[in-house]
Structure 1
Amino acid sequence: MDPILYRAASDARLDASQRQQLYRLAMAPAEPALLARRLNQGLLLVAALLLAGGLIFWIAANWQEQTRMFKLGLIEAALALSVMAAAALPRARVPALLAANLVLGGLLAFVGQTYQTGADAWQLFAAWAALSLVWTGLARSDVLWTLWIGICAAGLLSWEGRLGGWFDMLQLPSSAPAQGLRMGLWLALAVVPGLVASLAGLRLAQGLGRGSHRLALGLALAAWCIDGTTGLFDAPSGAGLFAVACALVAAVWLLSRNAGRWQDFASLCLATVAANALLMAAALRVATGSDLVGLLLIGLIVGVGGLGGSVAGLLSVQRRMAAEAMAANKEQVA
């Protein structure tokens, strides 16, 4: 038996028959086949990205040399071929739909720039998300849902007017209802992967899509931190906005730490970073009015303390999750 497997079996206190079952599972021929399938799928996804990106860059590079109708027909033909390939080739469905999704975004951008529809930028992303939702749901792929989450996030940022630069990222709406609506929209985006995992017609093979789930949570946590921190320093209703941001971050932290299907160590790390950012903002807000040396000292103390506590807590949770996983594997072997 492999030395690593032997040590694992010894630590788990397995008998001879259980060790044989563990060895057969570890050396099963399905593993290389699974690795080959994942490698092929990854190469197909990379090929889809390169083809879609190459098409968009080719159009941009030859912008003055090609006619408007030629470029429009070329993009539409690429979109149609991608969708037909997804329908005809089940094994290449996800890469083909990934390419179709990217080409669809290029088509909408081309139409908007060429014909000057007067629509706002967020409407482009909203139309892109709405049109691609059908095949994203039918494909049941975490890759497509991750891209869909990114499209929706870009639409939200455009609607908020936050894509103009770093200064725009720190602007808050003038009214409390608008602030609550914005935080609620990010919350709605954060629960989309969980909603998908709860619906039988949309559920992924692995249940909760980890990539889309982590991206949605990371974006929502960043938006809540920005809103809470900016409100704490600038907005008249800053204390309430900061409290709401803290409550949302705490909810994500608890769900990622303890709640069954939602338990995810990467999401817990993201929530911990957000909590540290809010803690630092609160400490600096309380210390406002102190001299520069005092602010730096307070920031250093809170930062080091938060970092040390976060690392200790995360290591403890990681050990608990590892122990639970080992116990589950032991029961499965038995």
Structure 2
Amino acid sequence: MHLTRYRMTDCRPGLHALAVDHGLDPQRTRALLALVEDAPPPRLAERLLPAVGAVAALLVGLGVVMWVAANWPDWGRTTKFALLQGLVASSLLGAWTLPHARPALGLLAWLGQGALFAYFGQTYQTGADPWQLFALWAALALPLALAVRHDAVWAPWTLTATLTVVLWVQAHSGHRWASDADVLTPQLLGAAALVALAAALAPWAQRWHGAGLWAWRAQGVWGVVVISGWALMAVFTTRWGPQYAWLGGLLLAAGAALWRQGDLVMLSSTALAINVWALAGFGRWLFEGGSGSDWLGKAFVFGLVAAGLLAGTVSLLMRRHRAGGAA
């Protein structure tokens, strides 16, 4: 029997028609339909319930934060502190006593800690740089992430740690967003810190910290975005910032290391950053100087190079992915 003429997104109507054409009895019809019955994804409940719990915790935490913000001028300091502290304390107690809800409640506790630091920063004006508050938040949330040992806490923790690094670099760059030669050292130190964070959360160290694959990927994506952003700012300075070469070389080294590891998400994000970095530098070199009459030809050349670079990158990534699947 041939199914090609019944091929469609849902095969069951075609199979019903096939059963009618061939006069199959109900028992054989059910056996035929069983061939295309959709089985539920493996470990569906194990994966879906934590995800739903994490979304619920995020909504509850943001709801409390927005509630406090909406009533900021009407409530006293004690009321706001008690509400936020109660959120943190109750979520920590629940995470301790309810193992199945631990990832969601750990995420709620992480969010409550950030809300508390924001409350103190807005109320008492401590004079601390923003990076210091984020560093304190990351440091106090680290034992929580180590205890919960789940990406529901580790993944948002990576965002806190990355913002700490970014704000530290900004504070040590004269509180300005720039990528000239004067801020080379802070940016290189910040890039090294981001690479170290990604290396510490890599799968090889999972047995110590409990962070999963998505926490490592999140830290890698944040790091790639920040490092490539600093490199791109160096392209658009009056004189070429040395960060362009240093940070670009770091991206290339990260891509080479990830090539051996083979994770497609990390490889794709790093490859995209390398493409943007390379095209930005090529575009400045191509369009810098010269007369304005040849801009169309230069744009055509730039488009050809961009298309060729993208096609080559995708081809390499797919080849590496297929090789990893075969292995």
TM-score by length of 2: 0.78
Tell me which of 240, 256, 267 is aligned to 1:254: 256
Following superposition, the deviation at residue 125 of structure 1 comes to 0.7
Task: State the match for 1:94 in structure 2.
Answer: 103
Following superposition, the deviation at residue 252 of structure 1 comes to 2.0
Q: Deviations over 1:257-287 (max 9, x none)?
A: 223xxx2011111111111112212312322
Is 1:155 the counterpart of 2:164 in the alignment? yes
Task: State the match for 1:212 in structure 2.
Answer: 215
Task: State the match for 1:112 in structure 2.
Answer: 121
CA distance in 2, matches of 1:318, 1:213: 19
Following superposition, the deviation at residue 104 of structure 1 comes to 0.7
* Residue type at the aligned position of 1:46: V
Higher Cα Rg: structure 1 or 2? 2
CA distance in 1, matches of 2:314, 2:279: 16
Following superposition, the deviation at residue 35 of structure 1 comes to 1.4
Q: Deviations over 1:191-239 (max 9, x none)?
A: 2312x742643244xxxx221222222222222222333334537673x
| Aligned residues of 1:283 and 1:302 also touching (Cα < 8 A) | no
Distance change >3 Å, CA 218–CA 234, structure 1 → 2: same
CA distance in 1, matches of 2:186, 2:56: 42
SS at match of 1:201: helix
Task: State the match for 2:131 in structure 1.
Answer: 122
Task: State the match for 2:311 in structure 1.
Answer: 308
CA distance in 2, matches of 1:171, 1:46: 37
* Residue type at the aligned position of 1:202: H
Task: State the match for 1:41 in structure 2.
Answer: 50
Q: Deviations over 1:60-89 (max 9, x none)?
A: 111122221111111111111110001111
Task: State the match for 2:23 in structure 1.
Answer: none
Where do 4+ consecutive residues of structure 1 move more than 6 Å?
Answer: none
Distance change >3 Å, CA 169–CA 175, structure 1 → 2: closer
| Aligned residues of 1:197 and 1:203 also touching (Cα < 8 A) | no
Following superposition, the deviation at residue 249 of structure 1 comes to 1.5
Task: State the match for 2:302 in structure 1.
Answer: 299
Structure 1 residue runs without a partner (length 5+): 4-26, 163-167, 325-334
Task: State the match for 1:289 in structure 2.
Answer: 289
Task: State the match for 1:184 in structure 2.
Answer: 192
Task: State the match for 2:263 in structure 1.
Answer: 264
**Cα RMSD between the aligned structures?**
2.6
SS at match of 1:63: coil
| Aligned residues of 1:176 and 1:237 also touching (Cα < 8 A) | no
| Aligned residues of 1:283 and 1:298 also touching (Cα < 8 A) | no
| Aligned residues of 1:85 and 1:93 also touching (Cα < 8 A) | yes
Is 1:74 the counterpart of 2:74 in the alignment? no
* Residue type at the aligned position of 1:249: L
CA distance in 1, matches of 2:113, 2:192: 28
Is 1:201 the counterpart of 2:208 in the alignment? yes
Identity value in percent: 30
CA distance in 2, matches of 1:119, 1:175: 21
Distance change >3 Å, CA 32–CA 267, structure 1 → 2: closer
CA distance in 2, matches of 1:307, 1:33: 35
Q: Deviations over 1:307-327 (max 9, x none)?
A: 111122222222222222xxx
Task: State the match for 1:174 in structure 2.
Answer: 182
Following superposition, the deviation at residue 294 of structure 1 comes to 4.0
CA distance in 1, matches of 2:148, 2:204: 14
